[in-house]
Amino acid sequence: MTRLAVFDCDGTLVDGQADVCWAMERAFTRAGLTPPDNHAVRRIVGLSLPAAVRSLAPALSDEQNRAVTEFYRSSYRARREEGLLDEPLYDGIAELLHTLHAGGWQLAVATGKSDRGLAACLASHGIAHLFTSLQTADRHPSKPHPAMLEAALFEAGALPEQAVMIGDTSFDMLMARSIGVAAIGVGWGYHGTPELIASGAAQVVETARDLAVALEETLP
């Protein structure tokens, strides 16, 4: 039987908030604009970059949005090339992924990261080979549009009822709900439990061990 677990990345697999906040502050500053506060930035993690900038500063012109977006990308890329990025896996995630993979689960990622950013992140932790499908903002509309999740289902040969979306934001839950995929929220990311439940999470777990149990209960 096909079982597919689709993971968000930032806030679910890895904790990259420090670098995201740093790059966003730098991008707004380089564009001559007042940077948003870090709490607001953490709220938009998971959206594709232009959508994130638009959410943070809806009054910006298209030209200003493009400038901030490009400054963010170049700043983040330079930080990665200098070896300064810090994107640690959350506790227990590596073990969970290896256990699921060994148990016959197919694994996928649906993220607002770029192809390059996701590849570098997974490679740095030695887990890229565990995933059947990698879907990013480079090739799809921003969450909560379901395009990334639909592509993951197609590549894994899975039906919506054979999949679970795991994420830390309402964007992930809404994406899953829109096409009938079960959704599990994680409590260690960027949106709170009430918001995740309201957006469609069947439950919210607090540890990787709890997530393993929840996945087996959802798709036994």
Please give the angle made by the CA atoms of 5, 216 and 161, to the nearest 5 degrees: 55
* Domain boundaries 17-81, CATH class: mainly alpha
Q: What is the pLDDT of residues 139-160, one digit of tens each?
A: 999 999 999 999 999 999 999 9
CATH topology of domain 4-15+87-218: Rossmann fold (3.40.50)
What residues contact 129, with CB distance under 8 A and at least 6 apart? none
Same fold flag, 4-15+87-218 and 17-81: no
Query: Would you name the residues annotated as active-site residues?
Result: 8, 10
pLDDT at position 83 is: 84
Number of Cβ within 10 Å of residue 125's Cβ equals 16
pLDDT at position 202 is: 97
pLDDT at position 111 is: 97
pLDDT at position 46 is: 86
pLDDT at position 195 is: 97
- What residue spans define the domains of the chain? 4-15+87-218, 17-81
Q: What burial class does residue 193 get, using C-beta atoms within 10 Å of its C-beta: 0-12 exposed, 13-18 middle, 19+ buried?
A: middle
Reading across the β-sheet that carries 203-205, which strands appear in turn?
133-135, 106-110, 4-7, 163-167, 182-186, 203-205
- Tell me: cis bond preceding 144? Omega within 30 of 0 counts: yes
pLDDT at position 1 is: 84
The residues of the chain scoring below 50 in pLDDT are: none
Alpha carbons 33 and 25: distance in angstroms, whole number:
9
